[in-house]
Amino acid sequence: MRLKKFRRLGRRDDVSADELAQMQHQLDEMALREITNLVERMPSVDGAKVLRMLPPDRSLAVFDVLDPAHQAELVSALGDERVVAYFDSMGAEDRVALLDNLPAQIAERLLQDLDEDDQRVTNVVLGYGKGTVGRTMSPAVPDVTPDMTVREVVEMLRADVEELETIYTVPVIDEDRTLVGMVSLRRLFRARGDETIGEVMYEPESVHAMDEDEGAARWLMSTDLLAVPVVDEDERLVGIFTYDEAQDVVEQADTEDSARVGASEPLGKPYLSTPVTQLVRSRVVWLLVLAISATLTVKVLDVFEETLEQAVVLAAFIPLLTGTGGNTGNQAATTVTRALALDDVRKRDVFHVMWRELRVGMMLGAVLGLLGVVIAGLVYDTNIGLTIGATLFMICSVSATVGGMMPIVAKAIGADPAVFSNPFISTFCDATGLIIYFLIARAILQI
């Protein structure tokens, strides 16, 4: 019952501080998971109030699992001491993710307040560019060498367990810090205490700190490894990249892809805690760009105005034909975009994809075209039927081919393939579809 009342509060955009204060004792009884849920569904200013009402350890636990962009907004709404406390207790990689979302002067002040050790590890992570593995990894790794015994390493892990991001995957290095092996806790567990690490370790898998984080994350998640050592260009160990971090990267990438496929900018935080004006900002630019590209279709129709005047009936099919072109193009584009994201398709496959999609488009076009000939032929007349049928066949063939290639071309020129999946394909298919339509109509109807 109490939860219900709270949930109702979360749904409104205005919760007064008084109302929240009355609920203090209810917060004490709620599970952390429920409180997190509540904060994720509130505007930041109210989320900050809830956090301030919690005891420090609970508020930290809630703050810790929020998206970095959401954390950043809460920071400006929270008191100073509270923020400094959060910041001190975060792992270096989470700290950097938050810093990336804060205004420069706040970020700098927070960094200066850290103790020397924390500053050092944070700077290691900050030294790598955004979107790299180095920026997302955890720099806290134990120093394990092949000559140590299993017993020594187990003791060492036991002593350092609080500092380490994971104890389940242990990288092994030589005296230069070059990565020479790795060993799972599972393996250590089965080994005798007096065996050396050199005897039980196996060939290390690794990723480079400069690698793109999304690719490395998807690769890690496709293996059954829980973490992978991170090395620099000299193969020296600099950190560890865990399943957990990889999962955050992949979820964020998929959310961004989904937003871009839908022609808006990613929000970076939960929908309900995003102000309406920010939703507008995330969409208006794309909408304008697309509307302006669409003036091309106005131009095309202007050119064919005479044809239209002679056969107004042609206008009736415009949305059906351009819509079908858009749908065919989008089918191909979303399939290929996802395949690119999962690394099932790569840049060098562009011609292979083109040839596949051309055949798919022609088969789809044949089915729809035949139907178009029959139906439009019966309802209107034979020539209209032929025009619609031939146009559908051509539009499907062109749209599928272009739709399948666009995401790969986008990736090749360094753009986000998702942007080219839906919005631009639709606009492109509209314009080319109209040209195909009127050229075919002119030829068949002889106007």
- Closest distance of CB 79 from its own copies, Å: 27
Cα separation values, 180 from 174, 193, 206, 234, 250, Å: 7, 21, 10, 12, 28
Per CB under 8 A, 334 contacts its own copies:
yes
Q: Which is nearer to its own copies, 106 or 290 (CB)?
A: 290
- Closest distance of CB 126 from its own copies, Å: 23
Q: Which is nearer to its own copies, 127 or 266 (CB)?
A: 266
- Closest distance of CB 194 from its own copies, Å: 16
Q: Which of 308, 354, 409, 447 binds its own copies (CB under 8 A)?
A: 308
Q: Which is nearer to its own copies, 132 or 252 (CB)?
A: 252
Alpha-helical regions (H) of 127-270:
133-136, 150-160, 185-190, 197-200, 213-222, 243-261
Cα separation values, 16 from 19, 22, 62, 167, Å: 5, 10, 21, 45
Per CB under 8 A, 244 contacts its own copies:
yes
Q: Which is nearer to its own copies, 107 or 206 (CB)?
A: 206
Residue 432's closest CA among 404, 407, 403? 403
186-225 binders of its own copies (CB under 8 A): 186, 189-190, 221-222, 224
- Closest distance of CB 103 from its own copies, Å: 25
Q: Which is nearer to its own copies, 229 or 326 (CB)?
A: 326
Binding pattern for the stretch 98-117 against its own copies, x by CB under 8 A and - elsewhere: --------------------
Q: Which of 111, 318, 354, 409 binds its own copies (CB under 8 A)?
A: 318
Q: Which of 21, 291, 378, 415 binds its own copies (CB under 8 A)?
A: 291
Per CB under 8 A, 445 contacts its own copies:
no
Binding pattern for the stretch 341-380 against its own copies, x by CB under 8 A and - elsewhere: -x-xx---x--x---x--xx--xx--xx--x---x-----
166-185 binders of its own copies (CB under 8 A): 167-168, 185
Q: How many residues does the chain have?
A: 447
- What burial letters (b/e) apply to 148-161, b meaning 16+ CB within 10 Å? bbbebbbebbeeee
3-state secondary structure of 177: coil
Per CB under 8 A, 271 contacts its own copies:
yes
Q: Which is nearer to its own copies, 239 or 433 (CB)?
A: 433
Q: Which is nearer to its own copies, 109 or 186 (CB)?
A: 186
3-state secondary structure of 138: strand
- Closest distance of CB 243 from its own copies, Å: 6
Q: Which is nearer to its own copies, 316 or 415 (CB)?
A: 316
Binding pattern for the stretch 389-428 against its own copies, x by CB under 8 A and - elsewhere: --------------------------------xxx--xx-
CA torsion angle 391 397 399 401 (round to 10): -160
* Helix or strand holding residue 180 (H, E): strand 179-184
Q: How many residues sit in the footprint of its own copies (CB under 8 A)? A: 99
3-32 binders of its own copies (CB under 8 A): 11
Amino acid at 167: I
Q: What is the DSSP string of 22-91?
A: TTHHHHHHS-HHHHHHHHHTS-HHHHHHHHHHS-HHHHHHHHHTS-HHHHHHHHHHS-HHHHHHHHHHS-
3-state secondary structure of 274: coil
Q: Which of 258, 381, 412, 435 binds its own copies (CB under 8 A)?
A: 258
> What 8-state DSSP symbol labels residue 311?
-
- Closest distance of CB 297 from its own copies, Å: 4
Q: Which residues, at least 6 apart from 255, have a Cβ–Cβ distance to it below 8 Å?
A: 266
Q: What is the DSSP string of 393-438?
A: HHHHHHHHHHHHHHHHHHHHTTS-GGGGTTHHHHHHHHHHHHHHHH
C-alpha to C-alpha distance for 42 and 53, rounded to whole angstroms = 15
Other beta carbons less than 10 A from residue 367's beta carbon: 12
Listed ranges 42-50, 84-92, 142-150, 154-162: which one lies at the site for its own copies (CB under 8 A): 154-162
Listed ranges 51-59, 76-84, 128-136, 243-251: which one lies at the site for its own copies (CB under 8 A): 243-251
Per CB under 8 A, 138 contacts its own copies:
no
The token pair that represents 126 in the structure block = 């900050």
Q: Which is nearer to its own copies, 15 or 107 (CB)?
A: 15
C-alpha to C-alpha distance for 110 and 253, rounded to whole angstroms = 28
Q: Is the dihedral of CA 10, 14, 16, 17 positive or negative?
A: positive
Q: What are phi and psi for residue 207, nearest 5 degrees?
A: -125, 155
Q: Which is nearer to its own copies, 79 or 351 (CB)?
A: 351
Q: Which of 276, 413, 414, 446 binds its own copies (CB under 8 A)?
A: 276
